[in-house]
Chain A
Amino acid sequence: MSHLASDLPNRTRERLRQTGVLLAVAATALLLLVGLLVLTGHAVGPALSALVRGAVGSSYAFTSATLVRMVPLGFAGLAVSLAFRAGLLNVGAEGQLLMGAAAATAMSLPLANVNPWLAIPILLLCGGLAGAGWAGVAALLRARFGVLEVISTIMLNFLALYVTGYLVRGPLQEPTRINPQSDTLPSALQLPVLLEGTRLHAGVPLLVLAAVLMWWWLSHTASGFRVRAVGASPSAAASAGGIYVPRTVMLAFLGSGLLAGLGGAVEYLGITFALYENFSPGYGYTAIAVALLARLHPLGVLASALVFGALDAGANAMQRDAGVPNVVVSVVVALLILLIVAADRLLGQSTLTRGTSGRPAESGT
């Protein structure tokens, strides 16, 4: 029996393989971007340089555009990867994030004069709970009625949008009643800025903390192991592990919603300071790509969210400076998802599709 140390070649080979795949995917994505630019008649050079400048061109760009966008993408990415790890196709991070922001907005009025050290954690908690509750609707529909969570979470995304639209034109609208948005968050309740002169806020270390905690929980606790087992094979988890699959799935679903809702609250408390209809430019959907690129690993999500944050920041700069519609990048992001799915199939890996059957009624006893 060989000693543990000599298993390294096995693992590093696997890691190299994965890195190679990622590089290939990244290269393809770059090619696609260039292709799209050409197709839509934009000069590639200026567009790409605007992209790079907007993402990492200056310290301001990096801290106040890239890192700032990394936060909601990171929280949503953690949410999606938790769900996917459990074999749940939760594509509702968008709606869960929005409801988290809405809850934080709603609660910020009564808490306006409370000590920030108390108020901010409460607001964050409210956001998390709202996200978990929103996910809970889909979780319940799946558990009780076998409703495919893909469809229910997407429907709930739309519903969250409509609820937000109602709130910002009604109960939560700003006092002058002109704009469809909420009142501005008092500066006492805003997340502290970490670097003078930038928009870099405390949400970033919060994200890192959340990622580390989630990684530790998944890898080193019994309940985290259960989630991973259920995602890998619900039948083996139930039969060999004696795991009560429905409860584990429910826990993962709610946890996923909690993370997304938390992200929404952080975004509200750290950057937007107000709720409005276009609060989330598709963070929940981009988060799917974030999670897939990170191979569903929580620490990988940090890196992946950084990459996509950079892309998003660059896309905005590309639109502003080179006139390229920033929706181009979202096409590339969606294509990335397809590429990763294809790569997984062609290479025989099962990172994504393990345990995810389309029929929740089958998994679990």
Chain B
Amino acid sequence: MIAFALDMAPDAGGAFLEATVRTATPLALAALGECVSEKAGVINIGLEGSIIAGALGATVAAGLVGVGGGFAAGALSGLLVAALFALFTVGLRADQIITGTAITLFALGLTGTLYRSLFGVSGVALATPTAGVVALPGLSALPLVGRALFAQPLITYVTWLTAPLLAWWLARTHAGLGLRAIGEAPEAAVTAGIRPRRWQAAAVLFAGAMAGLAGSTLVLAQAGTFVENMSAGRGFIAIAIVVLGRWRPIPVLGAALLFGAANSLQTLFQSMGWTGVPYQLFLALPNLLTLAVLAGASGRAASPAALGKR
């Protein structure tokens, strides 16, 4: 397919790959965060709320303190939403799924409210400073993959480094092992002297911050503006990505790329002249893929044993 694209338009394949990596970045950030959270046994359905909160936080802050501050504010916003989630689920031991759903609705509504009151009722699009592309010299000139892999905003490189870092941390540090123990056999972890709730709260906060970064990426490195409900279900898609990646950071990154590709198929089709397909199908692809992934039979077997239990 890629070769065919090269025939039709030499740059189409490269553009497709670049779009893939670009759209995969926020998905990967959110998924990596959720991966850690689920390893500790907590499903954060409210991840969507953290993403949209991060998006708004980044929008507001970037206008004031620039792109870097935007990312930081986004991470903080996502973390705050996750803190609310942790308060209910880890603190009050409320049902993770109902709470997560409520938090998502709350965050979506709140960000819409704040956005309109800050930037106008009709929601006129505003432009924020965007993260510039950081092209690595030499490497970015490689054919096909050069632009895709080495001419991306800084946040993308950060994401790539985070995945192996998390993998190493989970597998090779005491803290990582403790976290995994909490998600597999909390009673055993308690016996070993680990305090599950503390760690679970920390994991949830981390996931929130990562999701906030994902939202910031949506605004600062992709859309360049804030749109209400722009998270568009990415929080839930991230959960499917974690399942597809079997709860391991590096495969999760790969799964995110797959979803990014699904998102970017539209550009590929268009550049190849296949215009007959309604664009809603492309919008729907990540959702369909999510359903397919979750239905994949072996997915459940690899999940942390105590996932979702209070």
Determine direct contact between A and B, CB below 8 Å.
yes
Q: Assess the A342–B287 pair: CB atoms within 8 A.
A: no
Q: Assess the B290–A334 pair: CB atoms within 8 A.
A: no
From 224 to 264 in chain B, residues with beta carbon under 8 angstroms from any chain A beta carbon are: 228, 232-233, 236, 239-240
Q: Closest residue of chain B to A137, judged by CB?
A: B291
Q: Assess the A151–B308 pair: CB atoms within 8 A.
A: no
Q: Assess the B112–A327 pair: CB atoms within 8 A.
A: yes
**Most chain B CB inside 10 Å of its own CB: which residue of A151, A285, A335, A344:** A151
**Which B residues are in CB contact (< 8 Å) with A117?**
none
Q: Assess the B300–A154 pair: CB atoms within 8 A.
A: no
Chain A count of residues within 8 A CB distance of the other chain: 51
Indicate which residue in A36, A40, A361 contacts B300 across the interface (CB closer than 8 Å): A361
Question: Is B288 part of the contact surface with A, judged by Cβ < 8 Å?
Answer: yes
Q: Assess the A338–B121 pair: CB atoms within 8 A.
A: no
From 73 to 111 in chain B, residues with beta carbon under 8 angstroms from any chain A beta carbon are: 84, 88, 92-103, 105-110
B126 shortest CB reach to chain A, Å: 16
**Which A residues are in CB contact (< 8 Å) with B297?**
145
* A353→B310 CA distance, assembly (Å): 11
Q: Assess the A346–B291 pair: CB atoms within 8 A.
A: no
* A289→B295 CA distance, assembly (Å): 29
From 33 to 54 in chain A, residues with beta carbon under 8 angstroms from any chain B beta carbon are: 36, 40-41
From 109 to 141 in chain B, residues with beta carbon under 8 angstroms from any chain A beta carbon are: 109-110, 112-114, 116-117, 121
Question: Is B294 part of the contact surface with A, judged by Cβ < 8 Å?
Answer: yes
Q: Assess the A151–B239 pair: CB atoms within 8 A.
A: yes
Q: Assess the B92–A342 pair: CB atoms within 8 A.
A: yes
Q: Which of B53-61, B197-205, B277-285 contacts A (4 or more CB under 8 A)?
A: B277-285
**Which A residues are in CB contact (< 8 Å) with B88?**
338, 341-342, 345
Q: A323-B121, A341-B98, A345-B92 are in contact. Are A331 and B280 (CB under 8 A)?
A: no
Q: Assess the B97–A147 pair: CB atoms within 8 A.
A: no
Q: Closest residue of chain A to B240, judged by CB?
A: A151
Question: Is B17 part of the contact surface with A, judged by Cβ < 8 Å?
Answer: no
**Which A residues are in CB contact (< 8 Å) with B99?**
338, 341
- Per DSSP, chain B at the interface is helix
Q: A147-B294, A342-B94 are in contact. Are A158 and B284 (CB under 8 A)?
A: yes
B297 shortest CB reach to chain A, Å: 7
Interface size bracket, B side: 35 or more
**Which A residues are in CB contact (< 8 Å) with B96?**
358
Q: Assess the A334–B102 pair: CB atoms within 8 A.
A: yes
* A325→B284 CA distance, assembly (Å): 30
Q: Assess the A36–B113 pair: CB atoms within 8 A.
A: yes
* A146→B293 CA distance, assembly (Å): 12
**Which A residues are in CB contact (< 8 Å) with B295?**
141, 144-145, 147
Q: Assess the A325–B112 pair: CB atoms within 8 A.
A: yes
Q: Closest residue of chain B to A164, judged by CB?
A: B280
Q: A327-B109, A331-B106 are in contact. Are A151 and B290 (CB under 8 A)?
A: yes
Q: Assess the A338–B106 pair: CB atoms within 8 A.
A: yes
**Which B residues are in CB contact (< 8 Å) with A334?**
102, 105-110
A278 shortest CB reach to chain B, Å: 12
**Which A residues are in CB contact (< 8 Å) with B12?**
none
**Most chain A CB inside 10 Å of its own CB: which residue of B97, B98, B116, B307:** B98
From 258 to 279 in chain B, residues with beta carbon under 8 angstroms from any chain A beta carbon are: 278
**Most chain B CB inside 10 Å of its own CB: which residue of A148, A335, A338:** A338
Question: Is A306 part of the contact surface with B, judged by Cβ < 8 Å?
Answer: no
Q: Assess the B291–A152 pair: CB atoms within 8 A.
A: yes
**Which B residues are in CB contact (< 8 Å) with A327?**
109, 112-113, 116, 228
Q: A150-B100, A151-B240, A155-B290 are in contact. List 16 more A-B contacts (CB 8 A).
A: A89-B98, A141-B294, A141-B295, A152-B291, A158-B233, A159-B288, A162-B287, A319-B121, A327-B112, A327-B116, A330-B113, A335-B106, A338-B99, A346-B92, A356-B95, A358-B95
Could you name 5 residue pairs across A and B whose Cβ atoms are closer than 8 Å? A141-B295, A155-B288, A170-B278, A331-B109, A338-B99
Question: What is A's interface to B at a CB cutoff of 8 Å?
Answer: 36, 40-41, 89, 91, 141, 144-148, 150-152, 154-156, 158-159, 162-163, 165-166, 169-170, 285, 288, 319, 323, 325, 327-328, 330-331, 333-335, 337-338, 341-342, 344-346, 352-353, 356-359, 361
10 A-B pairs with least C-beta separation? A334-B106, A358-B308, A40-B117, A334-B105, A331-B109, A330-B109, A145-B295, A337-B102, A325-B116, A162-B280
